[in-house]
Structure 1
């Protein structure tokens, strides 16, 4: 997906700084600079509806539900390649971390309970982390950290939300 907001935009700096304060200063997480930058990019991408719901099925329709996303990620069902499996699992992890971290009150309205969001988010990021070869090799460690520390990164996003007092619950 093409980024609509350039990395020089002040929003990038704000998100990166706020994530650093949340993850490194408040939660005392170390060695997560790569994850911090990944999460800042993910948050910028998810500023729009198109970013949150960027997945399309083979008919070009938006994939919104977790069950549809999981089918799209399964090479035995809808995924036509392992690259597609990885792409969709990355989006599932991002989608669940975004909702469970920034808007946990909305999990029920999108038919995902908090425990299921954490378990599936960890699993999806784990799947992505197993792609340790070729063009994916450099990214694999980021997704391993996201999988292993999913609950800590959720808490980090909750702290980010607290730094944005005007942020209201998501309205679809």
Structure 2
């Protein structure tokens, strides 16, 4: 079971502030909906079990992108397909942008994801999720088109929170992120 970080939690404000500053000043992206989405992605994935929230028909955790795609493609439920594709986009963006050093392990030789290009799959999944109706469709489409830029932005966000943690500027962040 995943637990959500409450909306008023300081971590939400912290990630939103760092993401807004980074995306606006470093990347020139002043899009509140995109910033909200990316900051929300970071906050959602803080409880690490949320990274692997997708379950198969037996309730077993789905941890490989190939299995996530299979879940999306095999579902007869349009909302389930949209949510699976959105999660695949989030999952691949998170690992590509925040922790790219983990990609070799995620794509290990014995993994079903060995041949998966996380950037291409993320772009494809965000695009597919954006084709379903919903308020997030424009943001998901933009994430598809600007996946690499957003991944780079997330790498800058990580650098900033690590700088703040190293400087002791955010004791709460250090506790949550494991300093």
Q: Same fold (TM over 0.5)?
A: yes
Give 1:4 shift.
2.5
Task: Say whether 1:94 aligns with 2:90.
Answer: yes
| Partner deviation per Cα, 1:7-60 (whole Å, 9 max, x = no partner) | 111111111111011111111123x21011111111111012220000000000
Unaligned runs of at least 5 residues, structure 2: 108-112, 167-176
Tell me how far apart the structure 2 counterparts of residues 154 and 22 of structure 1 sit (CA, whole Å).
12
Partner residue, 1:152:
149
Give 1:2 shift.
7.0
Please tell me whether the aligned partners of residues 4 and 47 of structure 2 are also in contact (alpha carbons under 8 angstroms).
no
Please tell me whether the aligned partners of residues 124 and 144 of structure 2 are also in contact (alpha carbons under 8 angstroms).
yes
Tell me how far apart the structure 2 counterparts of residues 29 and 64 of structure 1 sit (CA, whole Å).
31
Task: Map 1:80-91; keep pairs closer than 5 Å.
Answer: 80-91=76-87
| Partner deviation per Cα, 1:117-149 (whole Å, 9 max, x = no partner) | 1111000000011113xxx1x211110111111
Unaligned runs of at least 5 residues, structure 1: none
Tell me how far apart the structure 1 counterparts of residues 11 and 26 of structure 2 sit (CA, whole Å).
21
RMSD of Structure 2 on Structure 1 (CA): 2.2
Partner residue, 2:18:
18
Please tell me whether the aligned partners of residues 18 and 161 of structure 2 are also in contact (alpha carbons under 8 angstroms).
no
- When normalised by structure 2's length, the TM-score is 0.83
Larger displacement relative to structure 2 (9-18 or 88-97): 9-18
Tell me how far apart the structure 1 counterparts of residues 36 and 106 of structure 2 sit (CA, whole Å).
27
Q: Structure 1 97/85 Cα, relative in aligned 2: closer, same or farther at 3 Å?
A: same
Tell me how far apart the structure 1 counterparts of residues 140 and 83 of structure 2 sit (CA, whole Å).
12
Higher helix fraction (1 or 2) = 2
Partner residue, 1:48:
47
Partner residue, 2:62:
63
Task: Say whether 1:79 aligns with 2:78.
Answer: no
Q: Structure 1 2/61 Cα, relative in aligned 2: closer, same or farther at 3 Å?
A: closer
Q: Structure 1 114/71 Cα, relative in aligned 2: closer, same or farther at 3 Å?
A: closer
Please tell me whether the aligned partners of residues 107 and 113 of structure 1 are also in contact (alpha carbons under 8 angstroms).
no
Please tell me whether the aligned partners of residues 104 and 114 of structure 1 are also in contact (alpha carbons under 8 angstroms).
no
Number of paired residues? 160
